[in-house]
Amino acid sequence: MEYIDHLKNIGIVPTKEFFWNLSAPQLISQTLRNGEGIIASSGALACDTGEFTGRSPKDKYVVKDEKTADSIWWGEINHPFLPEDFDRLYDRVASHLSYKDIYIKDVYACAKSEYRLNIRVITENPWQSLFANNLFLRPSEKELETFTHEWLILAAPSFKADPKIDKTLQHNFTIINFTKKVILIGGSAYTGEIKKGIFTVLNYLLPHEKNVLSMHCSANIGTEGDTAVFFGLSGTGKTTLSADPSRKLIGDDEHGWDDDHVFNFEGGCYAKCYGLSREKEPQIFSAIRYGTLLENIRFLEGTDIVDYENVSVTENTRAAYPIEFIDNAILPSIGGIPNNIFFLTCDAFGVLPPISKLTVGQAMYHFISGYTAKVAGTEAGITEPQTTFSACFGKPFLPLHPTKYAELLGKKLKDNKVNVWLINTGWSGGAYGTGERIKLAYTRAMIAAVLEKKFENADFTMDDVFGLHIPLQCDGVPSEILNPKNTWTDQSKYDEMALGLAAKFTENFKDFESFAGQEIINGGPVLQSK
């Protein structure tokens, strides 16, 4: 079948040029020719995403039909969209793309072949196509000859929806149709919508239809073949702690866990760039070279050298590159069943221990909670840390109820006797402003002790408020900091702060309590403020 027939079959009747599966160098050249990007001194292509420099969760919809009506977790995350409204909007977007130069990229998701999801990504901009090339897995030339897509993404940044006609909230939108296997993106050129659209799809298909746990996490593998998984929200150290030169990277963001393996969904990384330096993140810094896409960065004045401290456009500056650009990436991106799982939290209240071991019930509870805290900013009136809870460490991307993922996690933990550790990379000796941030060297030493099996016969004590099991000793870490209460000068203040945080956990969990089993409920704080 001719390329033009493939396009007509999906409703696009091209009147301008269309470019099918251009290579990365061709997409870069086309971007430069269009005046849409600049080459940085590193060789990377720098582009701006325009009006939107991040995802817009309130403008993300799921088509509500027979397939999804009773399975999707409807509410603040998944907004319902009528099938007939989707069909009308789809036709309008396809017609819009018929009058644009378009770039078609055939890629796939899931490194483990039995879950492979073939995706056709059609975009208006060549650098969006480069993003798809870099972030998804890349078929071989031979595979491309017979490639057929299962899922279709239409990304039309210059198409502005009319809320009155199109039933959207505003002019931008991301709509997932699980029955027709289409993701429709309009009004935003932010490429993260493409990446997280497919992640949301996999977060539905794998747990709901294949009994595979989908995870928003990073993963690496040691020389002995031991797999470690790291969950954590922004600012908790997930990227830093999983990028270990002595271990190979499986992936930095999205994975599945079936009966035998942990496998990467992606073929690349979408790394945050703010504050990036060769000293702090040598692997990421070195990955930014020819073929990498940089988004929304700015240069040192009068040069083509990227100023990673400049956040005048957005703090969400990004680099998108193939995983092969990381020196110690393992290919294919597959590891065994995890031996250890780390939940990373930056507790700015100074309450949680720097390391503690979780029971299965606690692991499910803390997984559903997805807790971290952000430090007080410069905003007037904010004098203490702000709690952040994101279910399963990825609430915006969960099409199913969080307890579905937590129960699947719990079963896998029991079946495989996996150790789960809560790591606090935040404060000790007091809350932010009084205490001090736990040294990165100590956190690395604690994670190394776990990976080297040094806690297998260790003695533990139990925390009074959260019921966490705290090791009494750890090589390379002062014993006095392991129990956080001991680091506070005023221990009654610690008790007050700990009870306050426990109450915040309990309040957050009320949204999930009616769906959760007793084992998960019992995993919460053992003491609460009255």
Told to judge if 347 belongs to the known catalytic residues of this protein, a careful annotator would answer no
Told to judge if 239 belongs to the known catalytic residues of this protein, a careful annotator would answer yes
Contact call for residues 9 and 92 (beta carbons, < 8 A): no
- Which of 149, 248, 318, 404 is labelled catalytic? 318
Contact call for residues 265 and 251 (beta carbons, < 8 A): yes
Contact call for residues 200 and 208 (beta carbons, < 8 A): no
- Which of 56, 200, 214, 239 is labelled catalytic? 239
Told to judge if 171 belongs to the known catalytic residues of this protein, a careful annotator would answer no
Contact call for residues 346 and 373 (beta carbons, < 8 A): yes
List, in order, residues 6 or more apart from 377 with CB less than 8 Å away. Answer: none
- Which of 234, 314, 359, 461 is labelled catalytic? 234
Contact call for residues 172 and 52 (beta carbons, < 8 A): yes
User: Which candidate, 126, 124, 127, places its Cα nearest to that of 293?
Assistant: 127
Told to judge if 234 belongs to the known catalytic residues of this protein, a careful annotator would answer yes
Contact call for residues 450 and 371 (beta carbons, < 8 A): no
Told to judge if 444 belongs to the known catalytic residues of this protein, a careful annotator would answer no
And the tokens for 226?
Answer: 């031991």
Told to judge if 246 belongs to the known catalytic residues of this protein, a careful annotator would answer no
Q: What are the residue ranges of helices labelled H in 172-290?
A: 192-205, 238-242, 282-287
- Which of 48, 106, 253, 463 is labelled catalytic? 253
- Which of 79, 105, 195, 196 is labelled catalytic? 196
Contact call for residues 436 and 428 (beta carbons, < 8 A): yes
- Which of 42, 48, 53, 55 is labelled catalytic? 55
What is the maximum span of the chain, computed from C-alpha positions, in angstroms?
75
Which DSSP string corresponds to 91-150?
Answer: HHHHHHHHTS-EEEEEEEE-SSGGG-EEEEEEESSHHHHHHHHHHSB---HHHHHT---S
Gap between the Cα atoms of 155 and 183, Å rounded: 8
Bridge partners of 81?
A: 63
Q: How many CB atoms lie within 10 A of CB 230?
A: 26
Residues with catalytic roles: 55, 196, 216, 234, 238-239, 253, 318
